[in-house]
Amino acid sequence: MVKRLLLFIIFIFPLSCIDPYNIGIEEGEQLLTVDGFITNDFGPHTIRLTRSDTYGSVFEGLIRPIRRATVSVRDSQGLVTFLTETEPGTYVTPNDFAAKLGLSYTLQIRLSEGQEYTSFPEKINPVAPIDSVSYRSLQLATDNRLEDRVGVQLVAHFKDPSDQSNFYYWRTNPGMFVVVANPELYTLPPTDPTNPRGPAPKDCCATCYLVENSRLQNFTVASDEEFNGLSTRVPITFIEDNGLRFKDTYRAEILQMGISQGAHRFLRLVNQQLNITGSVFDQPPANIRGNMVSLDNPDEVVLGYFIAASVANKSVYIKREDLEFTAIPRIIPDDCQIVPGATLTPPAGWNP
């Protein structure tokens, strides 16, 4: 009898003594994010406006484009240039717009609901030209010992001016490469009524060209504190071999930009967060404020940075036979034009 009573108490006690605890989570604030830059090269230059929901919102992690905004750039001489919305949240300058050295530029935004935002002025400072671009073929270890990463590291060579403090920002334009296919290996689909999977070689086409849809996400920033007035080399980015890029010839283009000290600080902090590995020594992630402010509410947090920069660029052609390490080539047993974006016409500026 005593044993039965103890068992009854054990089972009933948890059910009768636990009250539900409701966690009150404050709804996350929707943050305006500004992403884009202008340079002293001809346009179009792109500014992207989005709004993201932070922790606590049912839409957490969702990025929504901001449509129907009025976006303009004003220089220190009073000239205003309006941008056009080409797709939701994407605003571009006219093709003939180019910033001028020595002038300062301010980004001005008016949302369709009436809120107004502005950047602090950003001055266009000169940047050193790129003397050359070299590359190294690399094989990098990964967590999987059987799958190393193979690719090419781009390196910029230039001489830093000694008469001023310089802040650099490097990124790449979308790469372009030769797509190599094997139309002679084409076989009929398995549903073919006459000869399923039977060989059916095609006469065309073995060679196409493809311009990648986007830039590489990683970027590099530096100040000239350690190389002021010296000739130097800076590793810029790593282009991974996906089995298609380096089957023949790949064209990479580096942009070397001269930016303000404020832009350098912002990009350096962003880069630190992008490279967080999960170590106890990593800095905790946080919203990084840029140079954008709300004219209606100075306490509102606006993410992103409007960059105005001078730019120098240099291209390099990378041939497969010059690489020490390459990935296993991907076989395309069909016309090369089946690859999304591939065309028979070489892209503008293609001159290996």
- Write out the DSSP string of 267-280: HHHHHHHHT--S-T
User: What is the residue type of 75?
Assistant: D
Q: For residue 45, give the nearest of 117, 131, 124, 120 by alpha carbon.
A: 124
More confident residue, 274 or 119: 119
CA 50/CA 65 separation, integer angstroms = 4
Residues 278 and 139 in one domain: yes
Beta strand spans in 40-89 (E): 46-53, 63-65, 70-75, 80-82, 84-87
pLDDT at 12 over 50: no
Q: For residue 352, tell me if it sits in a domain.
A: no
Which pLDDT belongs to residue 335?
Answer: 98
Q: For residue 214, tell me if it sits in a domain.
A: yes
Residues 147 and 36 in one domain: no
Q: For residue 252, tell me if it sits in a domain.
A: yes
User: What is the residue type of 137?
Assistant: S
Residues 84 and 156 in one domain: no
For 121-167, what is each residue's pLDDT tens digit?
A: 999 999 999 999 999 999 998 888 778 899 999 999 999 999 889 99
Residues 224 and 143 in one domain: yes
Which pLDDT belongs to residue 284?
Answer: 52
Q: For residue 224, give the nearest of 126, 140, 95 by alpha carbon.
A: 126
Going by their DSSP bridges, the two strands 116-119 and 84-87 should be labelled as: unpaired
Which pLDDT belongs to residue 63?
Answer: 78
pLDDT at 9 over 50: no
- In the chain, what percentage of residues exceed pLDDT 90? 74
Query: How would residue 352 be classed by pLDDT, with cut points 50, 70 and 90?
Result: very high
Q: For residue 21, tell me if it sits in a domain.
A: no
More confident residue, 238 or 277: 238
Q: What is the chain's mean pLDDT, rounded?
A: 88
Greatest CA span in the chain, whole angstroms?
Answer: 96
Q: Which of 142-146, 173-177, 200-204, 229-233 has the lowest mean pLDDT?
A: 142-146
Domain end, chosen from 103, 124, 145, is at 124
pLDDT at 71 over 70: yes
User: What is the residue type of 143?
Assistant: D
More confident residue, 214 or 80: 80
How big, in percent rounded to 5, are the helix, strand and coil portions of the chain?
10, 40, 50
Residues 235 and 212 in one domain: yes
Residues 132 and 144 in one domain: yes
> What's the rounded mean pLDDT across residues 258-265?
97
Q: What separation, in Å, do the N-terminal and C-terminal C-alpha atoms of the chain show?
A: 93
Which pLDDT belongs to residue 59?
Answer: 44
Which pLDDT belongs to residue 2?
Answer: 47
Which pLDDT belongs to residue 215?
Answer: 60
Which pLDDT belongs to residue 288?
Answer: 81
Beta strand spans in 76-175 (E): 80-82, 84-87, 90-92, 104-110, 116-119, 122-123, 130-140, 149-159, 167-172
Query: How would residue 29 be classed by pLDDT, with cut points 50, 70 and 90?
Result: low
User: What is the residue type of 241?
Assistant: D
Region for residue 56 given its phi and psi (left: phi exceeds 0; alpha: psi -120 to 50; beta: otherwise): left
Q: Which of 1-5, 188-192, 261-265, 272-276 has the lowest mean pLDDT?
A: 1-5
Which pLDDT belongs to residue 57?
Answer: 42
Domain that holds residue 116: 28-124
Instruction: HSE, CB side, 13 Å, CA atoms: give it for residue 60.
Output: 9
Residue 18, C-beta contacts closer than 8 angstroms, at least 6 positions apart: none
**SS3 of residue 264 by DSSP:** helix
> What's the rounded mean pLDDT across residues 42-65?
74
Residues 109 and 150 in one domain: no
Residue 225 near residue 166, CB atoms below 8 Å: no
The two three-digit tokens of residue 259, written as one number: 């930016």
Q: For residue 70, give the nearest of 105, 115, 106, 120 by alpha carbon.
A: 115
pLDDT at 26 over 90: no
pLDDT at 23 over 60: no
Residue 104 near residue 76, CB atoms below 8 Å: yes
More confident residue, 75 or 12: 75
pLDDT at 86 over 90: yes
Residue 58, C-beta contacts closer than 8 angstroms, at least 6 positions apart: none
Q: For residue 305, give the nearest of 325, 317, 289, 323 by alpha carbon.
A: 289
More confident residue, 276 or 77: 77
Enter the DSSP assignment of 70.
E
pLDDT at 169 over 70: yes
> What's the rounded mean pLDDT across residues 284-309?
88
Domain end, chosen from 124, 144, 171, is at 124
